[in-house]
Amino acid sequence: MNPENQNPLFETPEISGKPSVRIIAVGNAGDALLGALSMVEFAGAEFAAINTDAAALAASVAPVKIHLENKLFRGLGSGGDPERGRALAEEQFSTLKSACEGANVVFILAGLGGGAGSGISPVLAKAAHEAGALVLAFVTLPFECEGNRREAQAQTALEQLKATADGVICLPGQKIFKLIDENSTLIETFQVTGGFLSEGVRGVWSLLTRPGLIQVHFGDLCALLRDRHAENAFAFVEASGPGRAREVAEKILNHPLLDEGRALAESDAVLVSLTAGKDLTMAEINRVMEQVKRQCGHAQIVMGAAADAGLKEKLCVTVIAAKSNAQPVSVTPRGENRSLVPAAAGHREPAGSRPRTRRPGSKPVQGQLPLTIVSKGRFDKSEPTLHRGEDLDVPTFIRRGIALN
Residue type (1 letter), 81: D
Nearest to 193 by CA among 180, 209, 210, 211: 180
Closer CB to another protein, 13 or 370, in the complex: 370
Stretch that binds another protein, among 23-31, 169-177, 251-259, 390-398 (CB under 8 A): 390-398
The residues, any chain, with a CB within 8 Å of residue 335's CB and separated by 6 or more, are none
* Binding residues for another protein, total number by CB under 8 A: 19
CB atoms closer than 10 angstroms to residue 116: 33
Is 145 a binder of another protein (CB under 8 A)?
no
Helix axes 82-91, 116-130, angle to 10 degrees: 30
Q: Which is nearer to another protein, 71 or 378 (CB)?
A: 378
Based on the shown chain and the rule CB under 8 A, indicate whether residue 383 belongs to the binding site for another protein.
yes
Segment near another protein (CB under 8 A), from 236-244, 255-263, 282-290, 376-384?
376-384
Does 372 participate in binding another protein (rule CB under 8 A)?
A: no
Nearest to 196 by CA among 161, 223, 234: 234
Q: Would you say 356 or 376 has its CB closer to another protein?
A: 376
Task: Considering only the stretches 103-111, 187-195, 231-239, 394-402, report the one whose residues sit in contact with another protein under the rule CB under 8 A.
Answer: 394-402
Q: In sequence order, which residues have a C-beta less than 8 Å from that of residue 87 and are 6 or more positions away?
A: 119
| 76 binds another protein per the rule CB under 8 A | no
Q: Is 373 in the site for another protein (CB under 8 A)?
A: no
241, 370, 377, 401: residue in contact with another protein (rule CB under 8 A): 377
- Report helix, strand or coil for 125: helix
Tell me the three state secondary structure of residue 259. coil
- Which of 6, 12, 16, 385 is in the footprint of another protein by CB under 8 A? 385
**Under the criterion CB under 8 A, does residue 393 sit at the interface with another protein?**
yes
* Angle at alpha carbon of residue 218, lines to 212 and 222, rounded to 5°: 140
Specify the 3-state DSSP secondary structure of 21.
strand
Which one of the spans 51-59, 283-291, 322-330, 378-386 is the region binding another protein (CB under 8 A)?
Answer: 378-386
Q: Nearest distance from residue 231's CB to another protein, in Å?
A: 36
Which of 261, 260, 344 has its CA nearest to residue 296? 261
SS3 of 44, please?
A: coil
CA distance 253 to 63: 38
Q: Does 396 bind another protein (CB under 8 A)?
A: yes
DSSP classification of residue 38 = -
Measured CA to CA in angstroms, residue 282 lies from 31, 84, 203 at distances of 40, 53, 20
Residue 64 within binding range of another protein, rule CB under 8 A: no
Q: Which of 36, 387, 389, 401 binds another protein (CB under 8 A)?
A: 387
Q: Does 371 bind another protein (CB under 8 A)?
A: no
- 375 forms part of the interface with another protein (CB under 8 A): yes
374 binds another protein (CB under 8 A): yes
Counting every residue written for the chain, the total comes to 405
Helix (H) or strand (E) holding 320: strand 315-323
Closest approach of Cβ 108 to another protein, in Å? 53
- For 137, which DSSP code? E
Q: Provide the 10 A C-beta neighbour count for residue 405.
A: 2
Between 354 and 399, name the residue whose CB sits nearer to another protein: 399
User: Interface with another protein by CB under 8 A: which range of 25-33, 250-258, 293-301, 388-396?
Assistant: 388-396
CB of 383 to another protein, least distance (A): 8
Asked if 382 interacts with another protein (CB under 8 A), we say: yes
Site residues (CB under 8 A) for another protein? 374-379, 382-383, 385, 387, 392-393, 395-398, 400, 402, 404
